[in-house]
Amino acid sequence: MDKLPKIALPVIFIAIILIVLISKSAVTIGSGEAGVLYKTFGDGVVTDKPPLGEGFHIVAPWNKVFVYEVRQQELFEKMKVLSSNGLEIQIDASAWYEPVYDDLGNLHQSLGENYLARVIQPAIRSAARSVVGRYTPEQLYSSKRDAIQDEIFAETKKILDKQFVQLNEVLVRDVTLPNTIKEAIERKLRQEQESLEYEFRLVTASKEAEKVRIEAQGKADANKILSASLTDKILQDKGIDATLKLSESPNSKVVIVGSGDSGLPLILGNN
């Protein structure tokens, strides 16, 4: 009985040490995450091997594991930039990004866990200033939103090319102009639309007038040709033909007495 406590104390002490070591050595990587191993008594950050994947891992208790989210993430940015003529424009944009999985160790070593603020935000802000500075407020308001979105994406992607970060998309959600500039642009667009409508009506009226003129000219030319071809002999023959057709009507009785003017027969009497 006296020996039992003496044996139990070392066992309990060893058990506690084992529990502490296991708790320090056990690492669980969650869904959509990966771990970067840091060897305290080795070469530091492990960059020549893939990161630790999802699930349970045992590492030496003196080493550390830095956990990163490797799913696509979204950054929202509100930026005030200058247009080509120096007016302040507000851009609301978002960027979809994720760390390059196989380069997670390099990312941790060169940029650290705060890589979003260190490279991604400065990159997208720099690209937005550069792109928006090429356009006027009128272009940004009307027809160039898709263009600036594509250009900001291309320039940001170029900056992040060797930063171990993958940029998937940049979306320009809104472009806000000063109220005075916005109202002036809207007035100008309305005036341009009204001018286009007026020009369209003028062109339509001109075409209609040209059509009427051509039709009238055609009729005049036809009458001129017809008048030139109608001789007295032709008119007399046409009159005779018409008189004969009229005399064949069952409602008429033909009585020819001498001749009328221009030598045409006379029809007298009706039933």
Res 240: pLDDT: 64
Contact criterion met (CB below 8 Å) for 29 and 35: yes
Residue 219: the pLDDT is 77
Average pLDDT over residues 55-65: 88
Would you state the pLDDT for residue 68? Answer: 96
Best-predicted range by mean pLDDT (55-59, 60-64, 167-171): 167-171
Alpha carbon distance 182, 138 (integer Å) = 8
Higher pLDDT residue, 153 or 249? 153
Tens of pLDDT, residue by residue over 93-151, are: 999 999 999 999 999 999 999 999 999 999 999 999 999 988 888 787 766 778 889 99
Mean pLDDT computed over 241-260 = 57
- pLDDT band per the 50, 70, 90 thresholds, residue 259: low
- At residue 67, the pLDDT reads 95
Helices (H), the chain: 3-25, 104-110, 115, 121-132, 137-141, 145-159, 179-229, 232-247
For 181-224, the pLDDT digits (tens) are 766 666 666 666 667 766 777 777 777 777 777 877 877 777 67
Say what the pTM is: 0.62
| 14-49 burial: b if 16+ Cβ within 10 Å, else e | eeeeeeeeeeeeebebeeebbbbbbeeeeeebbbee
Give the pLDDT of residue 247: 62
Mean pLDDT of 65-74: 95
Distance CA 78, CA 93 (A): 6
What band does 60 get if pLDDT is binned at 50, 70 and 90? Answer: confident
pLDDT computed for residue 182 by the predictor: 62
Identify the band that residue 253 occupies on the pLDDT scale cut at 50, 70 and 90: low
Q: Is the predicted pLDDT of residue 227 greater than 50, yes or no?
A: yes
Q: How confident is the model at residue 1 (pLDDT cuts 50, 70, 90)?
A: very low
**Strand pairing category for 165-176 and 64-69:** unpaired
Contact of 120 with 73, CB cutoff 8 Å: no
SS3 call for 224: helix
pLDDT classification of 38: cutoffs 50, 70, 90: very high
- Separation CA 80–CA 78 (nearest Å): 7
CATH class of 73-177: alpha beta
Per-residue model confidence (pLDDT) at position 31: 94
Model pLDDT, residue 258: 46
Predicted confidence (pLDDT) per residue in 19-35, tens digit = 666 666 788 899 999 99
66 versus 208: which is more confidently predicted?
Answer: 66
Q: Where are the domains of the chain?
A: 3-69, 73-177, 235-263
Which candidate, 114, 106, 97, 109, places its Cα nearest to that of 50? Answer: 106
Query: Higher-confidence residue: 11 or 136?
Result: 136
